[in-house]
Structures are given as structure tokens and as C-alpha cells.
Chains A and B, each alone.
Chain A
Amino acid sequence: MSALRAAVVIFGKELRTEFRTRELLNTTVVFVLMILILFSFTMDPTAEESRRFTSGLLWLAILFAGALMLFPSFTREQANDTLDALRMAPVPAFAIVLGKVLANFAFLTLAEWLMLPVFSVLYDVSLVRVLWQMLLVFALGTLGLAVTGTAFSAVAAHARMREMLLPLMLLPLLTPVLIASVEATAALLAREPQFDLTWVKILLGFDVVFLAATYLVADALVEE
């Protein structure tokens, strides 16, 4: 079976499981919204301040929520040794990781779509004019987060102190994604919105490099 087809089967299983329990989605959405609401209460930024500073806040919230959401990707496969069942299936190891990357990307994207209207209202920032560009930037940034986070959650699943280990490994590595996403978002939120292709290309490059790296080390990621 091809890696893509197997990944789609695993992606379907992840969606079915998550939409049945909503454990990760509920936690992530509530976490992100709480950060946005608390920050707006404590800082009460003007529209101009929002345009300048909130892209950083937005992406930090997504980053922390992502670390929270991505952690159980592989640890919950340990409950009934289901990872063993996946590893015994005649599918490439990359398919297992890819299926989970796709699912995490979908969950994070959904959380962001729920978050953006709230952000727009709380921080008095209109997203209508730049919606498609914003969604593209978010998609690329989120893909980088999902690929890297899923790969590292596989590593952390075998480690002691794994709850601490994932953020410690993940956050420094995601600095390029964070910087590029924040800059691209800030340019879109400016008084004169700009779709800065330089940052978009950096995001795209990061995604391609880390997806390729994950493909190369997939066997090591899922083995015992």
C-alpha cells in the first residue's frame, strides 16, 4: 500500500477518534481563547497597538497550544500498544507519521479558524481585506508546527519526563517558523497591508525541509 493511501487511512482514524472524544480540540481552543481574552483584558490595546504587537501574541498562543495538542499524538498510541499494531501493518513508517501530521494540521487549523474571528473582535483588527493571504500564512506556519511537533512527539513518547521534553525540544526549533509567521502576519495587519513573499517563502522552505527530514527519519521515529 502506498504511503499516501495508508496516511489517509490513519488520518481518517485520527479524525474519527478526535471528533468522538474532542479531548484535544476542546483543550486547545479553550487554551488559545483564554490567552487572547486575558491579554486583551490586561493590556487593552488600541487598534494601532494591536496592528503592531498582536501578531506575536497570536503566534505564541498558537505555538503553546500546538505543543499542548501535539504531545498526545504518539503517547495515546501507548494505551493498548496500538502503535505496535500500526508498526506491524505493511505500510511505510512515514505513512504513520504523515497520517498524524495531517490530522494535527487539521485540528490546529480548525482551532485557528475558531480563534481568528474572536481575535478580530477583541483586538479591533479587520481581517476581511487580507483573509485569503492570512489563511495562507496560517496554513504554512501551522504545517511547520504540525510536521515538527508530530515528529518530536514521537521522540518524546519514548522518553522520561516527556511532558517537559516536547516543549523544550520543539520551541527552540520552531523559532524560524515563529519569526516568519509573525512577520508575515504583522505585514498583513499593518495599516497598509502587505503580502510579504519573503517570509512566505521562508515558511514554505521550512515546511519542505522538515517534511523531507521527517520522511528520512520516519523509521527511527516509530520504532521501539
Chain B
Amino acid sequence: MSATPVPPAAPSFSTPAVLRDARPLGIEFREVGKRFGAFWALRRVSLRIAAGEFVLLRGPNGSGKSTLLKIAATLARPSTGSVVYPGAEDQDAAIIKARIGLVAHGTLLYDDLSAAENLRFFGGLYGLADLASRVEAALVSVALSDRRDSLVRTFSRGMRQRLSLARAMLHGPGLLLLDEPATGLDQQAREWLDRTLESLHDAGCTVVMSTHASEAASAATRTLWLSSGRIVRDTAAPASAEGVAQ
């Protein structure tokens, strides 16, 4: 007689404790353009995002969302214009970087390190105090504490994405940039992401997120629509996907 298979227990997510000490950081684009060869990915974008705002970036593929996020994350330099960070005590690159978190298309994780090793490594680079407890809290918050010692290469896409979120939030960023973070997440994880972003926003953290889906964005306060490297609409409150056509 064969035993009835028992479905695995659903992971429980919580709001990362590491986010509670985040100090909000704003960002301002001044006439920013970005050129790749002859192609302009961004064209004279001027934009001010105040500390504590929750902004959604929407637009079709190739509209410039990821480029805008990369520039905001200090990973790319504008070809024209400049970017400043209101709310930062200094515009020094290291100080700014220490207050930014990024969830990108790539996981930004090492496949041959375990989940805990990845977080310890990045926490070490940020010079975080109480690293062990922060890592543990971050792993618990993304429901990966039972897989803390498993290599990332053994993780599913959704688990990698959750760990990627934990990595981005580990140092308590004041400005969290997310490039389609719901990709690969199941419904439960999307709901967790939504709650996490909401609690982040409640704590005053600035959130800028590009997304195709509307599920994980109920806390958004503003939506920017991009097309061909330009901001074509700037609306208050989250907007649904039909706005693209408008």
C-alpha cells in the first residue's frame, strides 16, 4: 500500500526587519540622455522623485525603463544631463551607493555560493554590523532559511528572485530600484512582494519599480509611462496596463 503524497508546506514570508532602519533617498534626473551607438535609449528625461515616493515605470519593451533604472543605480553614466540624489548628505558615489538597492533582470547572485554565503559576501562589502543576524533575518523574510546552505544553482527561478530581493534589501536601502521583480514569482511570493513593498513605502523608503504586471504594485503612488526613451505620461496612483494605449 502506498502512502498518500503530502504536498510540501507553503513557505511563509515576512517583512524584512533589516528595512526598518532605512533612510529615504530621492532622485532627480536633469535632462538625462543615454546613447548606445546611434540609438538613444533615453532622451532628455527630466524627473524628480521625492524621498518616500513609490513610483511605477511602465512602457513597452525598449522604452528605456531598464536604462533609467541602471542610471539611477549608478551602473550607467548618462550621455547627457546629470543625476542628483536629494536627501543624501553628500553626492559622493560610495555614500549614494550604500543607500541604493537593486533587483535587476540578472539575479546578481553567485550560483556556486549558498544563499547565506551570497548574503554574507554582499553584507561584507557593505560593511554591515551584526551581519550574521541580518543575513538570518533576510533569509527568514524570503522564506529561504531552510535552504540557507544550499547552492544558488540548485534554486528555482522564483527562489533566486526571492534571494535577489533579500540581497537588495540586506543593507536597508533608502532607494530601492526594481526591474520587473515579479518575474518568476508565484502568486504567494507576488503577494509577499506586494506586502513588502507596501511596508517599505510605509517606512518611508523610496521605491522605483518597472513592471508589466499590476499585482505587486498596490502601494504605488505614481506611475510614469515611457515610450521611445521619453516620459510620455506622469500620473498619480497606480495605473493599469490599459494606460499604455492611452
Q: Which residue of A lies closest to B98 (CB)?
A: A90
Q: Report Cα–Cα, A180/B112, bound state, in Å.
A: 38
Q: Report Cα–Cα, A13/B120, bound state, in Å.
A: 10
- Check if B57 is an interface residue, CB within 8 A of chain A: no
Known interface pairs A81-B106, A88-B97, A90-B97; A224-B111 also in contact (CB < 8 Å): no
Residues in chain B near residue A160, CB distance under 8 A: none
Known interface pairs A81-B104, A224-B76; A89-B109 also in contact (CB < 8 Å): no
Q: Which residue of A lies closest to B97 (CB)?
A: A90
Q: How many A residues face the partner with a CB closer than 8 A?
A: 26
Residues in chain A near residue B112, CB distance under 8 A: 17, 20-21
Known interface pairs A1-B127, A79-B111; A84-B98 also in contact (CB < 8 Å): no
Interface bits B198-225 vs A (CB < 8 Å: 1, else 0): 0000000000000000000000000000
Minimum CB–CB distance from B218 to chain A (whole Å) comes to: 27
Q: Are A16 and B117 in contact (CB under 8 A)?
A: yes
- Check if A165 is an interface residue, CB within 8 A of chain B: no
Minimum CB–CB distance from A99 to chain B (whole Å) comes to: 10
Q: Are A82 and B117 in contact (CB under 8 A)?
A: no
Interface bits B49-89 vs A (CB < 8 Å: 1, else 0): 00000000000000000000000011111000000000000
- Check if A91 is an interface residue, CB within 8 A of chain B: yes
- How would you classify the secondary structure of chain A's contact residues: helix, strand, loop or mixed? helix
Q: Are B121 and A81 in contact (CB under 8 A)?
A: no
Residues in chain A near residue B104, CB distance under 8 A: 81, 84
Minimum CB–CB distance from A14 to chain B (whole Å) comes to: 10
Q: Are A13 and B110 in contact (CB under 8 A)?
A: yes
Q: Which residue of A lies closest to B95 (CB)?
A: A90
Residue in A5, A79, A84, A90 whose CB lies within 8 Å of B94: A90
- Check if B122 is an interface residue, CB within 8 A of chain A: yes
Interface bits B112-146 vs A (CB < 8 Å: 1, else 0): 11000100011011110000000000000000000
Residues in chain A near residue B73, CB distance under 8 A: 84, 88
Residue in B108, B109, B126, B167 whose CB lies within 8 Å of A90: B126
Q: Are B110 and A82 in contact (CB under 8 A)?
A: yes
Residues in chain B near residue A9, CB distance under 8 A: 121, 124-125
Residues of B that sit less than 8 Å from A by CB: 73-77, 93-95, 97-98, 100, 102, 104-113, 117, 121-122, 124-127, 167
Q: Which 5 A-B pairs have the closest CB atoms?
A: A81-B106, A85-B108, A89-B125, A90-B98, A90-B94
22 CB contacts below 8 A, A to B, read A1-B127, A5-B127, A9-B124, A10-B125, A12-B124, A17-B110, A17-B112, A20-B112, A79-B111, A80-B109, A80-B110, A82-B110, A85-B102, A85-B109, A87-B74, A89-B97, A89-B126, A90-B94, A90-B125, A224-B75, A224-B76, A224-B77
